[in-house]
Structures are given as structure tokens and as C-alpha cells.
A = this chain, B = another copy of it.
Amino acid sequence: MTTLKDPPQAADDHADLWLTPGELASWLSVVRLITRLPWAIDAQLQRDADLSMTEYMAMAMLAEAPDRTLRMSRLAEMTSVSLSRLSHLVKRLESRGYARREPDPVDGRFTNAGLLPAGMRKLEEAAPGHVALVRHLMVDNLSAERLRRLGQDAERIVQRIDSPAR
């Protein structure tokens, strides 16, 4: 789908012009991946633990941070979400008793988010099912070499996304 050949004499126009058929096919596969993979991960976590992927990731990052605590801004970049979104998200975690927030005593502009014991338990309870799915879809589905390269390519694209130019 979305096959396009020659830019200049544009006789065949549809969606993604000016990509070769092969490039287009690869791109559309990636689009399907970035659409469905989050959906699949979310669905499992939602069903089994009533958590979104972002909530899980945020709790996981907190869990391994020193003192299970991180600044909101740091946590936001680690989880690739906006500060606003994180603020709402942590407020929800807080209301569920999984996390806690307090202004940094040293510099009052910072807010430190910490994972509470109940949050840690929730995470430990959710982890096996989540990991099993990741294993099923990714780790056991690709050779070690291809998984490694996939990670590299992903990282390369992400770096370009938040590189200055553009």
C-alpha cells in the first residue's frame, strides 16, 4: 500500500509520496509497531494490574532509584513524558497510595517523588506478567543479535528526535 514512484511527474498520489516502495513498506511496518506494541503492553498491564505502561515505567524507575526517590523532572525525562502528564500521573499514584511527593527541602522548586511500600508491592506483583509478555513478543521472538540491533536502531531514531536540528 501507498506505493509511489516518481516525485516530479506525480501521477500516482496517495499517502506517503516520495518514498520508495521498500522504504514505505518498512515505514508502515514501524507504524504498526508503534501503534500496536504500546497497545498490547498496556492491555496486559491494565488487565492484570490495573496500571498503564507509563505508570508501570514510572514506578519501575522509582523502584531502582536511590532511596526509591527521583525529582519529577528527572522522572519525566526517564519515562519520556511531559512534566504536566507526570504531575497528573503521580497525583493518581499518590491517591492510590503507591507514591508520595514532597518539595525538595534544599531547593523548593524541585519536587521529589518517592515509591511507597504499597507501590513496591504492586510493582513486584505486576512485574512477572509484564516481563513474560515482553519476553514473548520481543526477546524470544528475535535472535539476540537482531534484538540488539533493533535496540540500537531505536536509540538512533530517538536521538535524532531530540537532537537540536529539525
Question: Which A residues fall within an 8 A CB radius of B?
Answer: 1-2, 13-19, 22-23, 25-40, 53, 56-57, 59-61, 63-64, 78-81, 123-124, 127-128, 130-131, 133-139, 141-142, 144, 146-158, 160-162, 166
Contact call A32/B131, Cβ cutoff below 8 A = no
Query: Given the complex, which residues of B lie within 8 Å of A25, measured CB to CB?
Result: 151
Copy total for this chain? 2
**Majority secondary structure of chain A interface residues (helix, strand, loop or mixed):** helix
A and B contact pairs by CB, cutoff 8 A, 30 listed: A1-B64, A1-B78, A2-B61, A14-B60, A14-B63, A15-B63, A16-B60, A16-B130, A17-B131, A18-B135, A19-B139, A22-B144, A22-B148, A25-B151, A26-B138, A26-B150, A27-B151, A29-B158, A30-B37, A31-B57, A32-B158, A35-B80, A36-B80, A36-B162, A37-B161, A40-B161, A133-B166, A141-B156, A142-B157, A149-B149
